[in-house]
Amino acid sequence: MSKPVYGRVGRFAKWLISAPPLVYLLIFFALPALIMMFAAFRFPGDYGGLLPLTEVDPETGKQTVLITLDTWRDYLTFENFGRFFEDAIYLELFIKSFWYAGLTTLICLILAYPLSWLIARSNKKTRDLLVLLVILPFWSNFLIRVYAWMIILGPQSYFSRMLNGFLGWFGIEPVSLLFSQFAVIIGLVYVHLPFMVLPLYANLEKHDMSLLDAAQDLGANAWQRFWKVTWPLSLPGVWAGVALVFIPALGMFAIPDLLGGTNSMMIGNLIKQQFLDSRDWPFGSVLSIMLTLSVLLLAAVAAWAGSRHKKKD
Amino acid sequence: MALLEIRDVVKRFGDFTAVNHVSLSVEAGEFFTLLGPSGCGKTTLLRMLAGFEQPDSGEIILDGVNVANVPPEKRPVHTVFQNYALFPHMTVAQNIAFPLKMAGVPQSEIAGRVDELLEDVRLQEFAKRYPHELSGGQRQRVAIARALVNRPKLLLLDEPLSALDAKLREQMQIELITLQKEVGITFVYVTHDQGEALALSHRIAVMSRGQVEQLDAPEHIYSYPKSRFVADFIGQCNLLDATVLDVGTDRMTVEIAGVGQCHVLPVAGAAAGQKGCLTLRPEKIKLGATLPADDSDEVHFKGKVHDCLYLGDVTIYIVELDNGMLVETMLPNSAPGRAKFFDDNDLVELAWRYDAGHFILG
């Protein structure tokens, strides 16, 4: 078969179109990631940052490279990784962050599924309006929305006073909603919910309704129609939503900062602390790398489990 | 007692009456067809049999039980949907096993029953394929197998062949007849294709505007249509407006407007002066350059060929009578040495026997 004459031009055009985002990602994503990976093996500087690898003579302005084949041991180290594994507190923090992100993802899924179903099944006009309402919060600033939650959950809010009044009837001591794990989860769910709704809606909207008729006709009750037909067909949407919620939630630091108490710190907070407060860039880099690796590991396990499941059928 | 009895069923959607006081019964083992143009109510009636719609009034008695308000999943009735509605995430075998699983058939029994059905529809080697890997005809067979596997009392088929091309459709028609004989399950078939209905059915209910116009065996529907609608809808038919002149014992005389008198078979309730129409199928009319006038049972008219439709095996001739009336007739293309008998503007003669057509009053 002869190749179409436009094949070469097409390939060139393809490169041309993808070049700008590619260059952008190389400079602002791949390169910083490499720099960070390198930083993880270096020593912290005396006043924060990194221990310099070069020295500038203040009088001559001449720059000398300090790191050589003989001295590299003074500049590169595995110590930062060692520190991560030596103290159980870091691993615990990782596990807690995974738990927060996982719980957030689960709650988002449970809340978003019926909502997405409802949106997908309503008529065109209502559907557009509901989708607009879902993305409406994006029109206001993220921090302002989290601050709003501080007010809602704060001890003086109507909500807190009503809740505590209600608990009082049963003789339960007043609870503080703000600065707790509860507040962090509420914040995480609130911020990420649209990222679960949108891919689920996009998936459910495409479902062929005659399949549900067929299932019912063949003897499936409402639960079986959901579990045997709708759910398995919506899995691509579910996975997309899970990824869009779980990964950002795992790295979140603003919400635990604002809504969380002393015991609801997440990895994001620790990384931020290392870079901005302690100014220990090497250890901050180690934490970032471990976070990325653990997410990749999780994705690999999920993909492996998925392929195994398929083979079993 | 009939397996299925529909008694005085009415279904309205707002102001529109989709099914208007329909009563009919279907015998066990029958291949029964609901035939009619779109909007005649046949699909609504089918959906009521499946349970997706509830009648506003009337009863649907299946095997002695009124199922009018029983939900679809609780009826021993399965449907072959127009678009097949196969589950895309399940293999052929899993699709066919679905109704068995829903009915709680023991796992040990399922595989055997699925294999049996796969064999019935000749899809054994496709058991592990997914629907998107199958051709249209194969998907059709999976849909039928899936609907049959749990041995429903009634199998509903909603225009199941309409998505297939003509050749495949004919092949599937033969398969459907064979399969129905084999499994012995009662089929209720919905179609707007009169050819399909005639070829497949034991009996046909021709529907129009929510009502049954005529319910009969295919050959009776075709040869003795009860109304202009049925005559016109089923096959090609000349409808010649006529007035009854005289009613005799074995034939009656009618005057075809502007053409002349002819004899027809008498119909019950006819009286002189009544208006009606003579239905004449094209293949029942004799056509020739000249025709011997030795049969007193025949009536003859002269005309010329107005148009020819050459179809290969036959040619349809539209003949214009002397007074300008157009009559459709057909001849097999059996002329030796020639493609067809006549060309446009050839002078011809038409003839038909008194019992060639069928008179409809009204």
Phi/psi of residue B147, nearest 5 degrees: -75, -20
As a whole number of Å, the CA-based R_g of chain A is 26
Residue of A218, A227, A312 to mutate, testing the B interface (most B Cβ within 10 Å of its Cβ)? A218
Which chain A residue is nearest to residue B85, measuring alpha carbons? A211
> Which residues 6+ apart lie within 8 Å of A276 measured at CB?
none
For residue range B189-244, list pLDDT tens digits in order: 999 999 999 999 999 999 999 999 999 999 999 999 999 999 999 988 999 889 99
Please write the tens of the pLDDT for every residue from B27-48.
999 999 999 999 899 999 999 9
What are the tokens at B1? Answer: 């007692």
B87, B146, B159: best to mutate for the A interface, most A CBs within 10 A:
B87
Average pLDDT for residues B307-323, to the nearest whole number?
Answer: 90
Residue B99 has what DSSP assignment? H
pLDDT score of A262: 80
Instruction: Specify whether the CB–CB gap between B60 and B6 falls below 8 A.
Output: yes
Strand, coil or helix: B35: strand
The CA distances from residue B45 to B12, B25, B66, B158, B159, in Å, are 11, 13, 15, 11, 13
Euclidean distance between CA atoms B309 and B314, whole angstroms = 9
Nearest Cα residue in chain B from A218: B99
Sign of the Cα torsion A213, A218, A222, A224 reads: negative
pTM score? 0.83
Asked if B321 and B302 touch (Cβ cutoff 8 Å), the reply is yes
Domain definitions of chain B by residue range: 4-232, 236-361
| pLDDT one-digit tens code per residue, B232-291 | 999 889 998 899 998 888 889 999 887 888 889 988 888 888 999 999 999 999 998 888
> What is the rounded CA–CA span in Å between residue B320 and residue B324?
6
Domain B4-232: which CATH number of 3.40.50.300, 3.40.30.10, 3.30.1490.20, 3.30.2310.20: 3.40.50.300
The H-or-E segment that residue B316 falls in is: strand B314-321
Strand partners, A4: none
pLDDT tier for residue A6 given thresholds of 50, 70 and 90: low
Neighbouring C-alpha atoms within 13 Å toward the C-beta of A214:
26
Q: Which of A217, A224, A313 sits opposite B78 (nearest CB)?
A: A217
Instruction: Dig out the tokens for B188 from the structure.
Output: 């209720």
Q: What is the pLDDT of residue B229?
A: 93
Residue A212, pLDDT > 70, answer yes
Q: Domain coordinates of chain A in residue numbers?
A: 80-312
Give, for B89, the enclosing helix (H) or strand (E): none
- Here the tokens at position B244 are 């009854």
Q: Which of A94-103, A293-302, B92-101, B108-117 has the lowest mean pLDDT?
A: A293-302
Q: What's residue A4's pLDDT? A: 55
DSSP structure string for chain A: -PPPTTHHHHHHHHHHHHHHHHHHHIIIIIHHHHHHHHHTTBPBPBTBBB--SEEE-TTT--EEE---TTTGGGTB-SHHHHHHHH-HHHHHHHHHHHHHHHHHHHHHHHHHHHHHHHHHHS-HHHHHHHHHHHHGGGGS-HHHHHHHHHHHHSTTSHHHHHHHHHHHHTTPPP---SSSHHHHHHHHHHHHHHHHHHHHHHHHTT--HHHHHHHHHTT--HHHHIIIIIHHHHHHHHHHHHHHHHHHHHH--HHHHHH--TT---HHHHHHIIIIIS-BHHHHHHHHHHHHHHHHHHHHHHHHHHHHHHHH-
Identify all chain B residues contacting A229, using CB atoms and an 8 Å cutoff: 87
pLDDT computed for residue A310 by the predictor: 64
pLDDT category of residue A63 using cuts at 50, 70 and 90: confident
A52 — phi, psi (to 5°)? Answer: -65, 150
Chain A hits for B51, CB-CB cut-off 8 Å, are 217
> The domain A80-312 belongs to what CATH superfamily?
MetI-like (1.10.3720.10)
Q: Predicted ipTM? A: 0.85
Chain B nearest-CA residue for A222: B73
Contacts of residue A236 in chain B, CB cutoff 8 Å? none
pLDDT single digits (tens) A172-189: 888 888 898 999 999 999
* Sign of the dihedral through C-alpha B8, B11, B16, B19: negative
A232 contacts B73? CB cut-off 8 A: no
Please indicate whether, in this complex, the C-beta atoms of B98 and A232 are within 8 angstroms of each other.
no
Asked whether the CA dihedral A9, A14, A19, A22 is positive or negative, the reply is: negative
DSSP B288: E
CB contact under 8 A, A228 and B98: yes
pLDDT digits (tens, 9 = 90+) for A22-49: 999 999 999 999 999 999 999 998 888 8
Q: At what angle do helices A142-153 and A158-169 cross, to 10 degrees?
A: 30
Looking at CA atoms only, how far is residue A217 from chain B in angstroms? Answer: 5
Q: Which CATH class is domain B236-361?
A: mainly beta
